[in-house]
Structure 1
Amino acid sequence: MGRGKLKMELIENEKSRRLTFQKRKKGLTKKCSELSTLCGIDVCTIIYGPNNHTKDPSVELETWPKDHNEVIRIIQRYQAATIYKPPKKSSNLSDFYIERKKNIDSKIDKLRKAKYPISDELITHYCASSGDHQLGLLLRRLDLKIEAVKRMIEFRKHNQVINYNPHDHVDHLFDQK
C-alpha cells in the first residue's frame, strides 16, 4: 500500500528533520549510482547538509561520486557543453504567455473559419465586385448595426428588455438602385 500525500513544509522537530535528511540523502545517492551504472551516464550530485548548530556553523557538503576529481570533471563537462551549445529555446514566463496567446488565437481562428466558412470569402468577393457607392452603403449598414448593438447592450445592462429587429432601420438602404 502506498504512502499518503506528504505535506511539503519544514519539519519542526530537528532530530526528525536530520533523520529524514539522512534517509533521503541515502536514497538520492543510491538513485544516482543506479542511474550511472544502468544507463552508463555521468551523474553528479552536490548536497549541502543542514547547518551544524555547534561551535562550527559551517555547512556540510557531500558529493556523489565521492571522488573529488570525478565531480570536477563532470562539472567542467557540463559547463563546456552549456557554453558552446546554448539551449535551443530559452523562455521565461512572459514568453510562455505570449506563446499561449498565439495558440489560443490560432484555435479561435480555426473555430471561426469552421463556423463561418464562407463569410471571409463573401466579404472579399463583395468588396472586389462592388463599386464605391455599394461599399458606402455596406459601410453605413454596418455602422447602423454596430450602433444598434451598442444600444441593445446598454439597455440590457440596465435590465431593460427591448424588441429590436436589426433589419428594420437599414433594409431601405439596399432597396435603392
Structure 2
Amino acid sequence: MGRRKVEIKRIQDKNCRQVAFCKRRKGLLKKAKEISILCDVDVAVVIISNRGRLHEFSSNNRQLEETNADGLTVTDLIHLENELQTALIQVRSRKTHLMLECAKDLHEKIASIKKNTKVNEMSDLPAPHIFCGQQRVTLNFL
C-alpha cells in the first residue's frame, strides 16, 4: 500500500483542517530539529496559527534548555539577553494588540445593545454575556 500525492489546497472542513495543522506542525518542528542536529546548522521555524497562537523552534537557543549558564561566555550571555529582550517586546506588543481589539469589540457591542434596547427593559432580564476571545464578560446595566 503506497502513499498518494496530496493535492495542495485549503481543507474546507474546519475539524479536518485543525487536525492536519496539528499533525503537520509537529512534523515540521520535528524535521527542523532533526536537520539542525544532523547537519549542525541553525534552523528557525515560526508558525502563527489562524487564531494568532505562536509556535516556534530555534536551534541556536539550545542554551535555554540548559539548567545553568556556567558554561556560557559573556558574548553568549549578551546574545541570549538580546534574544529574550526581543521576544519580550514581541509578546507585549501582541498582548497590547489583542487587548485593544477586545476593548474595541466590547465598545461596539455595548453601543449596539444600547441602541437596540432600552435600559428599563434590561433591568428585568439577566445580564447579557459577551465573549471576547476566550474571556467571558458580563455587562450590568443600572
Please give the TM-score of this superposition, normalised by the length of structure 2.
Answer: 0.40
Higher helix share: 1
Larger Rg: 1
Higher strand share: 2
Please give the TM-score of this superposition, normalised by the length of structure 1.
Answer: 0.33
